[in-house]
Structure 1
Amino acid sequence: MMNAIALFILAWPSGIPSPQEVWAVDEKLRLKERWGIMALDTTPPDLPWDILRYRIALTVDTVGDSVMNGRCDVEFQIIRDTSFIWFNFVDSMSATPQIGFSVDSVLLDGSHATWSFYGSDTARRIRIAIPNPVPGRIDTASVFYHGKPTHPAGIISSGGLVIGDTICYVDDEPWGARHWFPCVDVPSEKARSDLTATVPAGWRVVANGVLVDSVKNLTWWTYHWVNDRQIASYLIVFAAYDFAVLRDTFAFSGDTVPIYHYVSHHDSANAELDYKLLPKAMEGYSTLYGIYPFMDQKYGQVQIDELGGAMENQTNTFTGFGIYGDSLRTIWVQAHELSHQWWGDYVTCGTWPDIWLNEGFATFSEAVWWGWYMGPAMYQFWIDSVRMKGYFQYQTWPPIPIYNPGQSLDELFSVETYNKAGCVLHSLRKVTEYMLGGDTMAFWAALRYYKNNHAESYALTKDFVQEYQAFTGLTLDWFFGEWLYKPGYPEYRVIWSADSIGSGLWQVNLTINQIQSHDYGVPTFKMPVPMKFTGPSLDTTLVVWDSLDAQNFSFVISGKPTALKFDPENWIIDEHTVQTGVTEEAPAGVRLLSLGPNPARDAFRVEFIAPAGISAELSLYSVDGRFAARNGVLSSDGLNALSVDLSRLPSGLYFTEFKVDGKRLAETKVVKK
């Protein structure tokens, strides 16, 4: 079965998007025009209040592209003494005249409140006075407003509340929520939510949580949705349209949850095919990550053709990738957004610089889905040929780290926080398995441990780093330090040779050079590096720990190696070349002991055992192949040493070649300091 799958993959499975198609979608998202960037805090705000619930009520005027009547009741609890509370809210004073909401009145616990606006553009806030604050007391601030919404230019649309002639929808990430209701618009401040939307008759409204009521007359239809689970403001959404609704069910461990697909009527037949694999993806993630977090509510997918991508709104994914009547065409997108229900919605990144905790996990989950459905070969293929290659294709320059990648949205939502971060999780999985002696379940258990620690809350990168190590018992600060907090990746140049030492044994001499530039903080990487050696009667994988710019390794294997595959399962996000140096069989009684040092300053030395009278020669060549230095000796019986003077050579990289009686026994690279 594994071989059949591998052959199937090489032929590229029918219906599965090519890497180029996936990258084109990614590129479209990354190049979306955006504005309103704000300074990105790396610490959640320490607020003197806790938001408990948003109750939003809107009447949508599709003719005037406006909200006729808007009201948001914000229930909050005072934690410590404060004379005011503020909400992010973009009103008409911050944008083009006649565009933006006008606030009609503000109440605090049912009485008129003193309030004012401050800040500008996306950073606009409404401040409401609290005359007699009492820590522990629960208060309600009510904001009444109307007007045309502004749009912050979201990641997959114009952002915020979009009102069209035939459809209305919300796109919030990262700062769209403040453009249609007052809220504390940071990902760490989670609350419950209610939404009541009144729309033209004939339109259905879908929102977070559960539909509890609807009222219909000849002119207006009103829907009331309630979400009693913690949710970040950027995930609170609704959409209204003349939807057809397809129904499915996911069952797991004796529990069930309804699945709803909201699509246009003319797409409903094809949608049945497009979405038929979704319960299988929910099964895979529930098995590995823990049961779907919102079993008490629903999972919905809402087709909105106007969107340029997809968005993982809690219990309510919005997608604009089209419907094709093909179960494989967009399942990778469905799987990506579905996985966000665990990674992004249930556990939310605490600050935007931690966005990789959402997007890196979801990108990794694409490969997890393929592995669950089609087996390990397809998992590996998606990591190698789609996500890792996509990172190399579109990597940011100058290089940026995964955590806190920069102040622009192009950096925040980049291939570093998606592709590279997803591949780092794959790398973490493989390194964990290796360091724990082949334990294949510890990685998944550690993810569940981290998830459970932050259920319905938020997490920071440092939380994941600390808790993963605490659960596995591994010391991995070196791993997280180089892969999350520093930019770039290793570029390896590998040279190897093998010397026969008799009795079917071969001594392998291996040099690994890391030749990446260290500009912009790119480090020298420490990693366990798998090396797969094959030959006529040989198929073995050895792991060496590489941590230097130039490092030599020597070991003995049984059977003649004729080929080396570097890092066959792509544990490492890297670029590499391998120079094969399989040598001729050594004369009887000759055995290579060592080559070094590397790097070298004054001399490079070889030690070997040989009978008397054997001709030995050590040569150096520049990287362009020109002769640089040579020394030779006629061996004595037993231990011999031969060195080449480097003192007059310029610093740089050189190739070395060691021959005995004209037979090449070893070659490697040496860095001359």
Structure 2
Amino acid sequence: MKQTLLYLLALLLPAPLAQAQLATPAPATANLNVSTADLCAASHVRQALRQPATTIAHRQQMDRYDVKYYKLDLSLENNSRNVAGHTWMRARNGNTTLETMAFELFSTYVIDSVVVNKQKATSIQRASGDVTATLKTAVAPNTLFDARIYYHGTAPNTANQVLAGNALDTSLTPAGTSVTWSLSEPFNAYEWFPCKQVLTDKADSSDVWVTTSKVNKVGSNGILERVTPISATKHRYEWKSRHPIAYYLISVAVSPYVEYVNYAQLASGRKVPVLHYVYNQSTLDANKTEIDRTPGFIENFSSLIIDYPFADEKYGHSMAPIGGGMEHQTMTTQDRFTFTLTAHELFHQWFGDNVTCASWEDIWLNEGFASYGEYLSLARFSSPAAARLWMDDAHTRAMASAGGSVRVPDTTSVGRIFSSRLSYKKGAAVVHMLRYLVQDDAKFFGALRTYQTTFADSTARTSDLQKIFEEATGRSLTDFFAQWYAGEGYPTFAAEWKQAGGNLQIRTTETVSAPFITPFFDTELDYRITTSAGSQTIRLRQSKAVSEFVVPITGTVVSIELDPNQWVLNGAGSVVRNDNLVLATRGHAATRPVLVYPNPCEESLAVQDLPAGQWRAEVTDALGRVVVRQGISATRAQVTTQALAPGLYHLTLTAEKGDEVRRARFVRR
């Protein structure tokens, strides 16, 4: 099924589209014949499926200081896991005197010395990956201090260390050359450099210096300041980044790469270099079509959200056989170039790098949004049909099992954190449903821009995203996130209908896949109603397990389709005509008229004699599209119509409990 679906998706991709920078050609069929979510998840799950090595007590000791800066000065080769050098950490002490410094480093490394403020630590205690250095002179409260940790050894891997995560590995590439690369997410950076692995403590800046054989190039974060000759056979790559960075996004990739550069031209006028380190010339030639998509992707995401967050540095790729991709800040590591993989890892630069999840519980803020970046790219550079097929597949995968939440309940399990089904596919479906709920792309992308600017260079939780969307929409999203983020499963809808003169009567029954966890999904749903007079799509709210509706119609009903555009994650239900249908709610009550004035109106429309309580107001246009949605009450009985174009509109008022409905028609002057 997956192979057929993705083959059809490839067939729908059109001819190349003109870009501001260069042409973005259509992907070859084979390039979409695999799930990016599976690739990305697998590249992380190859890490040992274990809990973080550090103890709670050690974490508390590390939280006594705030990391400001990392500088890695290491010797590495492209065919070895040997590491030698030092890490310089600059940090600010907290409110108490610091007499010991806690950090993390894998237990098999030899620590040659720890030097804090130019004084060598008097002792070093180690317990697995936890390291505690006793300082010769204590650090005063609220002051900056420098720590240099000199060490050497061989990076562990699962062949010789059962707890290893292969965070620094080496292998032969398909091209026959050797490459050494890092992959630290979620909590494996300590396998190749001393660090503090706390998501909420981003370093303000970083430098990565790597001394290696002159045949090699080294890819890393930020700007390549210089390549310094060290000897007749060695040189040093010196990378500098002045953006905050999470510990797991610091990276290296070492190999005799071929270099290729293209550029993205942002609407703001900034030109962003895109640097690609590729195995060899034949690999570049074979992948150039796919690589050349990257600038167009950057331009598109920048126009939708905010400018590429690291535009003053670069974007790029380092190839390594990691079995997928990893969104290292400004320099993604990928083992191949395909349409959706490149788009996915790039969108992480916004969702994951610029704004990082503050807890692995909220990894969907990284992976769900990056997956949605695939959908956005298909919609922009391919076709709505291709994007629809992608979403159909995402829904199919998300519903492959009955339960499971987007929220990660066990943040010590790598496999659960990087669940392809839940963190990636269901996460993307939740983003899509949030867009549907907003039903206004200007507000939806505006809220994402607010999220990016509010939490830029920092971290965020799901509650932060919820608050921003609540402010953008003016409505509570507590139920939405309780159902779709913390809850489990999905709904399935079965509808019966009957035409009674000029009214369409509908009874829709909702069942759920995980009833003991999430017994009901309170959601809106589109109904495409086709009659002899034409077709219209209306939006109705499923406010209880069995919901009934009476819809005024023109003509004879031919068919009804639920959720025709696949906005809501839901199972395959049924729609049947039932001429014996009798609604529990009397039809005249559902269509009770209400007086509105002035009619025609301009900036607002008042509702006369509205009963007490909270009411949901929806205005639909002649095509059945909801164009206004707001809450009103008897004391605030006005609907804002200022933004409406002149024309005829339908007003539907629904009581808070869904048991009363009022309707009116009005004209916007």
- Scaled by the length of structure 2, the TM-score of the pair is 0.77
2:308 corresponds to 1:308: no
State whether residues 199 and 221 of structure 1, in contact with CA within 8 Å, keep that contact through their aligned partners in structure 2: yes
Unaligned runs of 5+ in 2: 1-6, 14-26, 173-177, 590-669
* Partner amino acid, structure 1, of 2:182: V
Q: 1:54 aligns with which of 70, 75, 78?
A: 70
Map 1:380-391 onto structure 2 (within 5 A).
Answer: 380-384=388-392, 386-391=393-398
Shift in Å, 1:49: 1.6
Aligned pair in 2 of structure 1 residues 550, 405: CA closer, same or farther (>3 Å)? farther
SS at match of 2:243: strand
Residue 514, structure 1, aligned to residue 514, structure 2: no
Opposite residue 194 of structure 1, the aligned amino acid is D
Secondary structure at 2:428's aligned position in 1? helix
Aligned mates of 2:343, 2:102 — CA distance in 1: 37
Structure 2 partner of 1:205: 218
2:263 aligned partner: 249
Alignment of 1:115-134 (within 5 A): 115-120=123-128, 124-129=130-135, 131-134=137-140
Structure 2 CA distance, aligned partners of 1:556 and 1:453? 44
Could you say which residue in structure 1 is the equivalent of 2:239? Answer: 225
Greater shift in the superposed pair: 189-198 or 230-239:
189-198
Query: 2:105: which partner in 1?
Result: 89
The amino acid across from 2:492 in the alignment is E
Whole-angstrom distance in 1 between the partners of 2:447 and 2:554: 37
Partner of 1:636: none
Distance (whole Å) between structure 1 residues aligned to residue 576 and residue 492 of structure 2: 17
Deviation at 1:479, TM superposition (A): 1.0
CA shift digits 1:172-215 (9 cap, x unpaired):
11122111111111221111111111112210111101111212
In the TM superposition, what is the alpha-carbon distance from 1:563 to its structure 2 partner? Answer: 1.0
Quote the offset at 1:33 in angstroms. 6.2
How far apart, CA to CA, are the structure 1 residues paired with 2:68 and 2:396?
Answer: 44
Structure-2 separation of matches of 1:20 and 1:345: 25
Residue in 1 that maps onto 2:343:
335
Which amino acid counterpart does residue 182 of structure 1 have in structure 2?
P
| Aligned-partner Cα distance in 2 for 1:60–1:10 | 41
- Residues 77-108 of structure 1 show CA distances to partners (whole Å, capped at 9, x for unaligned) of 1131143331121121xxxxxxxx11011111
Q: Which residue, out of 158, 183, 200, partners 1:171? A: 183
* SS of equivalent residue, structure 1 residue 36: coil
1:408 counterpart residue number: 413
Aligned to 1:140: 146
Matched residue type, 2:557: P
Q: Say which SS state the counterpart of residue 562 (structure 1) adopts.
A: strand
Q: How many residues align?
A: 552
Shift of the 225–128 alpha-carbon distance from structure 1 to 2, 3 Å rule, reads: farther
Q: Which amino acid aligns with 2:396?
A: K
Post-superposition offset of 1:283: 0.9
Which AA in structure 1 matches 2:199?
Answer: P
Q: Percent identity?
A: 26
Indicate the RMSD between aligned Cα atoms, in angstroms: 3.0
Report the TM-score, using the length of structure 1 for normalisation: 0.76
User: Is contact 2:186-2:414 (8 Å) kept?
Assistant: no
Q: In the alignment, what sits opposite 1:160?
A: 167
Change (3 A) 1:520 1:263: farther
Quick one: which of 387, 390, 397 aligns to 1:379? 387
Which residue does the alignment assign to 1:478?
A: 479
Corresponding residue number in structure 1 for 2:251: 237
Output the CA distance in 2 between the equivalents of 1:114 and 1:575: 64
CA distance in 2, matches of 1:564, 1:10: 30
Question: Is residue 539 from structure 1 mapped to residue 535 from structure 2 by the alignment?
Answer: yes
For 1:497, give the aligned amino acid.
K
Aligned match for 2:120, one of 109, 112, 115: 112
**Alignment gaps of 5+ in structure 1:** 1-6, 93-100, 324-329, 434-438, 585-591, 598-604, 609-673
**Tell me, what secondary structure is at the counterpart of 2:557?**
coil
Larger Rg: 1
Q: Describe the shift of the 1:177–1:422 C-alpha distance in structure 2 as closer, same or farther (beyond 3 A).
A: same
Letter in 2 for 1:564: I
1:209–1:401 CA distance, 2 compared to 1 (3 A)? closer
Give a deviation string over 1:99-145, Cα, whole Å, max 9, x none.
xx11011111111113433443xx53344437432223211111111
Task: Name the SS of the counterpart of 1:521 in structure 2.
Answer: coil
Kept after mapping to 1: 8 A contact 2:358/2:461: yes
State the AA in 1 paired with 2:299. E
Quote the offset at 1:409 in angstroms. 1.8
Give 3-state SS (helix, strand or coil) of 1:231's partner: coil
Q: Aligned residue for 2:404?
A: 399
> Are residues 1:294 and 2:310 paired?
yes
Map of 1:456 onto structure 2: 457
Deviations 1:206-262 (A, max 9, x none): 110111121233321211111111000100001111000001111112111211111
The answer to whether the aligner puts 1:487 opposite 2:488 as a matched pair is yes
**1:531-584, CA deviations, whole angstroms, 9 ceiling, x for partnerless residues?**
001133220112111022222222221111111110112221010322321649
CA deviation after TM superposition for structure 1 residue 8, in Å: 8.8
Q: Which amino acid aligns with 1:221?
A: H
Alignment correspondent of 2:363: 355
Compute the displacement of 1:18 (Å). 4.9
Residues 22/35 of structure 1: CA separation in 2 closer, same or farther (3 Å cut): closer
| 1:256-655 map, 5 Å | 256-265=271-280, 266-304=282-320, 306-321=321-336, 330-384=338-392, 386-393=393-400, 395=401, 398-404=403-409, 407-414=412-419, 415-433=421-439, 439-499=440-500, 501=501, 505=502, 507-581=503-577, 583=579, 595-596=583-584
- Displacement of 1:382: 2.0
SS, match of residue 578 in structure 1: strand
The structure-2 alpha-carbon separation of the partners of 1:128 and 1:342, relative to structure 1 and needing over 3 Å to count, comes to farther
